[in-house]
Amino acid sequence: MNGSDAVIVFEGARAEYPGGTVAVEGLDLQVRPHELMVLVGPSGCGKSTTLRMVNRLVELTAGRVLVEGTDVARTDPVTLRRRIGYVIQHVGLFPHRTVAQNVATVPALLGWSRERIRERTAELLELVGLDPGTYARRYPHQLSGGERQRVGVARALAAEPAVLLMDEPFGAVDPVGRRRLQEEFWRIQRRLGTAVIFVTHDVDEAVRLGDRIVVMSNGGHVEQVADAVTLLAHPAPGMVADFVGAGRTARLLPITELTAADLDPLEGVGGPSGAGATAPGGPGGAPASGEGVTAAGGPASGARVPAVRLGDRLDAALAALVAGGPAVPVHDADGRPVGRLTEAGLLRALRRAVAGAETPA
């Protein structure tokens, strides 16, 4: 990519702390428009330092960082930070201000009108799944950890920033809440198209969220930049392969979608006659929301297993196979049965994902 097309550009960026510790050395990296780029690596590898160089919470000792073509070192840091959203692990909401007032912080500093602030606050609370009528007047201490994190995301997006920086934002949330926040944030980012740098030490979180993943080692060295499937299928030897781990094939399950090519014909699914399965509930035999289907070969007659549709992730498909037996019916978006998924089909899907991954140069 031409550097002029990138939203964020690191050019030979270097950060050295007092005492001589070099956190990042000679970093060259570009973040594309609308991209969610994840920085991942062991503790002390310079991930957070790299993030903070963008909004000048850490000053460079050499090189440049450009945001929308402008050198951050030549920009007033206060003005710069009002243009960049920033979300941290413990949120940092103002405890004496309501949720609405927290979200409105930067727009108020920028001099937005009250009406515009009110509309934007309500829009963002809806976007992050918090009803404005219920939450706008609450205070941070009245919220759960996951709700506070949602408010933090809303506040960071309030002034419509071109860039969003997120430093292990979901790390303090329980596992169930964390997965829900990941899914919600992925949906929000896809809707808004904001360029994001997201820092995590969690490989699973990185591959679930990232358009591209940057694996870093100590000293801020970039070991590999790749999309999630390529990283898991072809990790760079040495540090990256060790960091991603021996279970990397299983990590393909939640990021690979089920396609028609992975299915067997419908024959053999359903009752003893071998007719195609008919699932109760939705149109065209599609299960109603929250229902499953009855699959031949299940553990017991009438057993309910999760419904499977084209486009579902393979981890959900695997769960249906475990619950439903050797084959489960699969429906399209309109609820029509289009085939059946077997263990062999699931394996084909994994092989397809690996075969489609880019081979590193």
List per-residue pLDDT tens for the chain, 361 residues long.
Answer: 555 689 999 999 999 988 888 999 999 999 999 999 999 999 889 999 999 999 999 999 999 999 999 999 999 999 999 899 999 887 788 999 999 999 999 999 999 999 999 999 999 999 998 999 999 999 999 999 889 989 999 999 999 898 999 999 888 778 888 888 888 899 889 989 999 999 999 999 999 999 999 999 988 899 999 999 999 988 999 999 999 887 788 888 888 889 999 999 987 544 333 333 333 333 333 333 344 444 444 444 455 666 899 989 898 899 899 988 788 999 998 889 999 999 999 999 988 888 877 666 5
Query: What is the spatial distance between Cα 37 and Cα 55, in angstroms, rounded to a whole number?
Result: 16
Residue type, 183: E
- Phi, psi (deg, nearest 5) at residue 38: -110, 130
The pair of three-digit structure tokens given for residue 94, joined into one six-digit string: 């103002």
Q: How buried is residue 246: exposed, middle or buried, by Cβ count under 10 Å (0-12/13-18/19+)?
A: exposed
Rounded CA separation 256/350 (Å): 8
pLDDT of the residue at 297: 41
The token duo for 342 is 């077997």
| Angle, CA of 213, 44 and 225, to the nearest 5° | 15
Short-list 200, 196, 206, CA closest to 164? 196
pLDDT for residue 2: 56
| Paired tokens of 146 | 């996951």
Q: Please tell me the predicted confidence (pLDDT) of residue 303.
A: 54
Q: What is the DSSP string of 207-233?
A: HHH-SEEEEEETTTEEEEEE-HHHHHH
pLDDT value at residue 180: 85
Q: What angle do CA 80, 86, 88 make, to 5 degrees?
A: 145
pTM, two decimal places? 0.79
The matching CATH number, chosen from 3.30.70.330, 3.50.50.60, 3.20.20.10, 3.40.50.300, for 3-255 is 3.40.50.300
Q: How do the domains of the chain map onto residue ranges?
A: 3-255, 260-353
